[in-house]
Structure 1
Amino acid sequence: MTFSIVGRSADGQSFGVAVASKFLAVGAAVPAAEADVGALATQAFANLAYRSQGLALLRTGTAAADVVAGLVAADPGRDSRQVGVVGPAGDGATYTGGECFAWAGGVAGDGYAIQGNILTGHAVITEMERAWLAAPGLPLARRLHAALAAGDAAGGDRRGRQSAAVLVARRAAGYGGLSDVEVDLRVDDDPDPVTRIGALIGLWELYFGKPDPATLLPLEGSLAAEVRDRLAALGHDDLAAWAGIENLEERLVDGAIDPHVLAHLRAAAPDEQPPAA
């Protein structure tokens, strides 16, 4: 009743899951990820214990294929389970029990595992893999979503659409650098959840993405004057205070301004328009 991808970033530092289903709040059940350890998806008649058990095995250095083998060997309900696992190195691994509802299956390769059940057909998995392999340079959340969107476009869950989620873990990449949960987004009940989760990733990038040093603009001269004027029009005299109110504090840099922050400020305090004739 679900299709998912479990993946590792190209630099080997991020681990995540993207999942969609005709199921309420699929993000509450399927995904698990831990920085420096790996990620896992449990689905079909999901065994939620796989999440903690699988991550525990990955912490010991167990390879993804052996994690999957260990989980299903110990589970009397294995025939109706589906699971995908990726670790810090090597191929991911996927398993589909023989009693999962058709169409069901999966594919795995270096740094990823893709699986689904009650799908419109094999093309869902094929297109997800194609999209994943075509975008190695994307940030992990975007790459996972690209694969999920390709599966959705290919038919996805044959019962319809309801929920989607993206979870990414990376050491100290969370808010303020004090958490390893980099991205944790869910659409629990929506007629087009995969599209909606993509829009939420865009908002996450705006509010919590890290500034690109190559694009920072020095706050000096005419630009500094413009920023002061626009802040004053909004009733502020301090960029940091305004950015905090707008939830843009993660993009603040001393002595410079992130173009995303500048665009947001310009939209909030547009140039005055001349009066109509």
Structure 2
Amino acid sequence: MASSEQHSNASLSIASGSVGIGLRAPHYHNLLTERPAVCWLEVHSENYLDKQCVQRHILREVAQHYPLSFHGVGLSLGSSDPLNPAHLDALKQLIDEFNPALLSEHLSWSSVSGRYFNDLLPIPYTYESLDHFCHQVNQAQQTLGRQILIENPTAYLHYKGSELTEWDFLNEITRRTGCGLLLDLNNIYVNSVNHSFECQQYLDNINLDTVGELHLAGFSVNEYDEGRMLIDTHGNRVSDPVWALFAQVRHQLNCQAPALIEWDTDIPDMSVLLEEVEKAENIQTELEVQYA
């Protein structure tokens, strides 16, 4: 059982403009013994739902030293299935124990008829799916007693039946449900290349006032005879175009939501993640000096 001190430390707020990293198993030892100067950690909720698992015990230790953001991949908010009550209950217990500063999920679906896929699949941007997604978000927020941030997805195909742009779809979700947005700048860039639109168009139209967290990540490139496709692998350093978007969002658009260095595959040494954190912080410092 988590102590009251652990509850208090875990509920620390995450400062605006701060930069965090993901909590990943290869770095447990570093975080618990060396305690690197990272402002906050993002946690994949599903890895810690079991109260008796070793990961949950480690999270209790880590939470004494770092504020937390919980990032889920399993609610399947866009599925035609009803929300899984067992999953919701386990997630609520996790949230009640650790009281994370932020809570997020995806604009996607991953289940049908109770069968789950190991992927975050895109949904059609229709008014029908908008109504359903908002219903699911409202139910989840009511059950969990918390606002959820919804992350913009990567998608490698378009639905012909879509009636709304992605930004209009997301803006309407926030308006109807009171949820916030987790704005993944790498996802915007990857989609802009794969689907031939301008990132500026996206940023001009998304409601940045609702953004509670930013993601910065790397991508891979798949080459084909017909051309190339960017793949959102989270397995590389943040690219220069995404750093440029980050600088624009911070300065020109004045969005100071906490930013995450997201790295999920081919996980490097902690020192590499800290270099990426330092780069993000240096960009912010340079902007402050340049425009002071």
Instruction: Flag the structure with higher strand content.
Output: 1
TM range, normalised to the smaller chain? under 0.3
Instruction: Flag the structure with higher helix content.
Output: 2
Q: Please tell me whether Structure 1 or Structure 2 has the larger radius of gyration of its CA atoms.
A: 1
